[in-house]
Amino acid sequence: MSIVYDAIVIGTGQSGPFLARRLSLAGRKVAVVERGLFGGTCVNTGCIPTKAMVASAYAAHMARRAAEFGVTLGGPVGIDMKRVKTRKDEISGASSHSVESGLRKLPNCTVYQGHARFESPHDVRIGDLRITADQIFLNVGARASVPSISGLDQVSYLTNSSIMHVDFLPKHLVILGGSYIGLEFAQMYRRFGSEVTVIENGPRLIAHEDEDISAAILDILQREGIQVCLGTQCKSVAKQGDDIVASLDASGTVSEVRGSHLLLAVGRRPNTDDLGLEKAGVAVDSHGYIVVDDQLRTNVAGIWALGDCNGRGGFTHTSYNDFEILAANLLDNDSRKVSDRIRCYALFIDPPLGRAGMSEAEARKTGRKILIGKRLMTRVGRAVEKSETLGFMKILIDADSMRILGAAILGTGGDEAIHCVLDVMYADKPYTVIQRAMHIHPTVSELIPTMLGELQLLGGVS
Ligand SMILES: Cc1cc2nc3c(=O)[nH]c(=O)nc-3n(C[C@H](O)[C@H](O)[C@H](O)COP(=O)(O)OP(=O)(O)OC[C@H]3O[C@@H](n4cnc5c(N)ncnc54)[C@H](O)[C@@H]3O)c2cc1C
């Protein structure tokens, strides 16, 4: 016996719940299945808790700098890690609760808690129960990759999920991986007071970014006393007393780092290996990501994949945008596509990096004639007033079409200011629209028109 629905949503990440809501309000009989915490990664082990902790770390950092601003504290700055965790749990918990209660209140919607697995293209098993629908939406997300390093199975390591339970200060946190997730944890734990070492295989941090950005971020982190080992492979790990010792190899030069805790931040893998996709005939790529077309359809009619599991995004905003694309196509007769979106994201270290569109390296590769504008944050009044002058902003323009190709703002407020650039890119208007706009003083955004008035031809491009 199977319970029949119009639609089944598996996973309550950043697209499934919104889609369930739209479908159920449109009168469809919907089943939602969640095996873990409602709201998935962003809400429980990703964006929300980490940004709550970044905020605590920023408070600690500013408290230590208080005297610079003429503020006196009663004594040395102390960190109450239990309070840091409680605050984070309250923020994250409220969000998870709101996702769950929102789903449970929906008309025509049944919420199941358990692991969902396909039995056929239209049948899904949850424990002893079988449910069936013509339309199935997969929003199963991703989890931390665990690399094959000798000895890793013998030590207790942390991931972005298990570190959420930490309510004490690690004496020395060793982080494998110098990309977005690893660097946010590196800076926050350093600011809480841990010794922090980042081990990165590649020759620079966040290798997807331009070299000047990687170098500036390395400088920002090193100024705070974070040890960074670049071009370094972790060959093995072993437990020695209460410590974990990582054996390192940097192009033949071997060394060791001894830490109290080890955090893995070497990438993500999709939660598609235990979904019974083979029984539904759904195709995945060599990394396990579900293959989808521009409107998020899998190769099997009636099955769609949204969010991190389709390998087309990897962010909360891309997952949410997947929901918008699907809802537009299925319910609004509006044929939106994944390829309509412009890449954008932020790295939430302090100061943050806001990014939109192409990097300088990518722009160069197009072979177009390119104009570049660059401005140090030391020349941004707002940054000077806040004594937060690390970083720079840069923008890349197609000289012929005058369209913005990409931008990066590494600096205070960069995660917000980037949006004025992004919106003009979406509007497909020339950069002069921003250059002639009057922006508010004193803000970081007010210097974007100024930077656009000082464009230069990008050297090395014919
Ligand atoms: C530390 C960290 C920080 C991050 N910070 C940011 C940030 O600042 N900004 C940003 O945009 N992105 C950030 N991300 C990425 C972001 O969290 C994800 O891209 C986002 O959560 C989208 O996920 P999703 O919708 O694909 O699914 P997820 O949120 O991963 O949810 C998937 C859900 O499916 C459930 N599930 C899986 N398999 C099954 C099954 N078989 N049956 C039932 N349920 C199942 C899971 O339990 C989970 O609840 C961060 C990620 C991490 C790890």
Can you give the pLDDT at residue 461?
Answer: 55
Judge if pTM exceeds 0.85: yes
Query: Is 271 near ligand 1, meaning CB less than 6 Å away?
Result: yes
Say how many CA atoms lie within 13 Å of 369 toward its Cβ.
7
Residue with CA at minimum distance from ligand 1 atom 38: 140
Residue with CA at minimum distance from ligand 1 atom 22: 316
CB 108 within 8 A of CB 24: yes
Interior CA angle at 84 toward 145 and 349, to 5°? 55
Give the Å distance between the CA of 239 and the centre of ligand 1. 31
Residue with CA at minimum distance from ligand 1 atom 30: 141
Which residue matches tokens 């990501």?
A: 289
Can you give the pLDDT at residue 1?
Answer: 85
Write out the two tokens for 3.
Answer: 């319970």
Write out the two tokens for 81.
Answer: 């890690």
45-60 burial: b if 16+ Cβ within 10 Å, else e: bbbbbbbbbbbbbeeb
Give the Å distance between the CA of 40 and the centre of ligand 1. 5
Residue with CA at minimum distance from ligand 1 atom 20: 316
Query: Is 310 near ligand 1, meaning CB less than 6 Å away?
Result: no
Q: Which atom of ligand 1 is nearest to the CA of 308?
A: 26
Can you give the pLDDT at residue 462?
Answer: 45
DSSP class of 458: P
CB 323 within 8 A of CB 306: yes
Give the Å distance between the CA of 364 and the centre of ligand 1. 33
Can you give the pLDDT at residue 459?
Answer: 84
Query: Is 35 near ligand 1, meaning CB less than 6 Å away?
Result: yes
pLDDT in tens, the chain (462 residues): 899 999 999 999 999 999 999 999 999 999 999 999 999 999 999 999 999 999 999 999 999 999 999 999 999 999 999 999 999 999 999 999 999 999 999 999 999 999 999 999 999 999 999 999 999 999 999 999 999 999 999 999 999 999 999 999 999 999 999 999 999 999 999 999 999 999 999 999 999 999 999 999 999 999 999 999 999 999 999 999 999 999 999 999 999 999 999 999 999 999 999 999 999 999 999 999 999 999 999 999 999 999 999 999 999 999 999 999 999 999 999 999 999 999 999 999 999 999 999 999 999 999 999 999 999 999 999 999 999 999 999 999 999 999 999 999 999 999 999 999 999 999 999 999 999 999 999 999 999 999 999 999 998 654
Run of H or E including 352: none
Choose one of 140, 185, 189 to mutate for the ligand 1 pocket test, by most ligand atoms within 8 angstroms of C-beta. Answer: 140
Q: Which atom of ligand 1 is nearest to the CA of 38?
A: 49
Query: Is 56 near ligand 1, meaning CB less than 6 Å away?
Result: no
Three-class secondary structure of residue 201 per DSSP? coil
| Residues facing 430 on adjacent strands | 403
Write out the two tokens for 307.
Answer: 């969010």
335-366 burial: b if 16+ Cβ within 10 Å, else e: ebebeebeebbbbbbbbbbbbbbbbbeebbee
Query: Is 36 near ligand 1, meaning CB less than 6 Å away?
Result: yes
Query: Is 429 near ligand 1, meaning CB less than 6 Å away?
Result: no
Query: Is 403 near ligand 1, meaning CB less than 6 Å away?
Result: no
Neighbours of 97 (CB within 10 A): 14
Run of H or E including 270: strand 268-270
Query: Is 348 near ligand 1, meaning CB less than 6 Å away?
Result: yes
Residue with CA at minimum distance from ligand 1 atom 1: 46
Query: Is 434 near ligand 1, meaning CB less than 6 Å away?
Result: no
Residue with CA at minimum distance from ligand 1 atom 6: 47
